[in-house]
Structure 1
Amino acid sequence: MTAAPADTGAARIAAAFKAAPGCAALMPYLMGGFPDVEASVEVGLAYADAGADLIELGVPFSDPLADGPVIHAAATRALAAGATVNAVLDAGARIAERVPVVLMCYANPMLARGPERFAGELAVRGISGLIVPDLPLEESGEVLAACDRAGIALVPLVAPTSSDGRLGAIGATARGFVYTVSVTGTTGERAAVGSDLAGLLERVKSHSSVPVAAGFGISSGEQAAAAAAAGADGVIVGSRLVRAVTEAADGGENPAAAASEAVAELAAALVR
């Protein structure tokens, strides 16, 4: 794959991975619009201040099949509070002034607008990438073409169950990075990083020319460092951070401060 022009989302993502001060790039997940839109922007900026190299920004959706209970509950509350796709994209634009943003959006909201329009809306806001967890490789051609035209990196997902043949097909079209789902199942905090993660990452890397990030089940600094030691170029943490924001909001505390503390601990673990 040829190098991306310097002003594309793929180039911004590549630069963030390269410049990460830790042993892997840190990519915390943020639920857009939770606990409300303005608070989610403040949380995103707190992530950046605390050491995030990139941010995964979730669009709340009523049927988030890949998400565990913590993130699902946050999406439900964001929608109830009035979060819209436009509002989340505008929030992403503000966060993207500080750190590259990769949008995580289920297929229906994207397809309702059309891939061309949706990719253009991300580009005009300076959002670098797009993850669509329920978009299979076989149905991704139109979306990939629209993203390429707009300079948006369409980031694919792979799983522990992905065959070598499928990893090769996905790796051939990967933009930005490959999101490696480290465990089977949905997002959520787990007791430890799986012992087979190193083997999975080695398999994914053998089929990819872009960085490989690990997510799902990583919730502590120790686990983030373990994922990096296993070979991850990037570490994605979601449920633990959304839980911190939830507990702060419900307890009358500052969600951004709680998020900052949690991300700082993860960032420190990756630098040590």
Structure 2
Amino acid sequence: MDQAESLRKRMEERFAGAPAVYRNKAKTLAVVSGKGGVGKSNISLNTALALSDKGKKVLVIDLDVGMGNIDILIGRQALYTVVDVLNHKMPIHRALSTGPKGIRYISGGTGLNTMFELNRDKWAFFLKELSTVLNDFDLVVFDMGAGLSKDQLPFALSADEILVVTTPEPTSIMDAYSAIKHLTLNGRELRLKVIVNRCINQKDGISAFLRLSNTVNAFLQQKLEYAGPIPEDPLVSKAVVEQQPFLIRHPRSKLSSAVYLLADSLLESRTVKTEGNRSFIDKLSSFFRRGNAT
């Protein structure tokens, strides 16, 4: 008995100092943008496919309720959606659909205007269901709606990492800054990465990131990490029309190679201790206990 007690204590000490991603298994990634049309959902989906190719069990949850397009990009119609889980208390495993390369996803659906108006009983059910999912996957990717509405903000603030998608266009950079400002004013100890989409070359991506990073550092005192560039490529539009992810349609393109590099950077990074090393579910629950999101 003494030996068992000693072993238990050693295991508790070991996991107490371990990154949250290992204690909760699934690493959570929120993919956000300051505006629509910058390729956020395409990056969310194709990055998930690249992670699956690297042997990871990945789940994509489309939180752009009412305007989600993950299933459109895949070319499949989901039977059930996030709305079914939230409104009708459907078990979350029943709402899972299977996508290419074995990834799982939950469609955003339609018909739910404000998720946070659900009663406490429904939210308790949803959080419990979401908690079980975190034990079944290595990574959970939340594809957020453009602009980060009040409804979506807690999910982004609770994630282990936030990936901000922008392009080199000045207006896109300013929109990304606005999204980062919104996050920074409402959260703390955030880990923010930036991916610059539609770059002409490497220099184009670095220049855009530095403009954004310098502005964020000067006015928000927030550190950003550069996740790399994604090249401008007409293959993206063709893949969208064909409703087949470009990583599958053109796996050897420079475009796909850049996404594989992004996947590598996400796998290499370790979740740092934040907010007392609280889990994703703990942090998310705290928003709902307060009754609203900031």
Report TM bin, short chain.
Answer: 0.3 to 0.5
* Larger of the two Rg values belongs to structure: 2
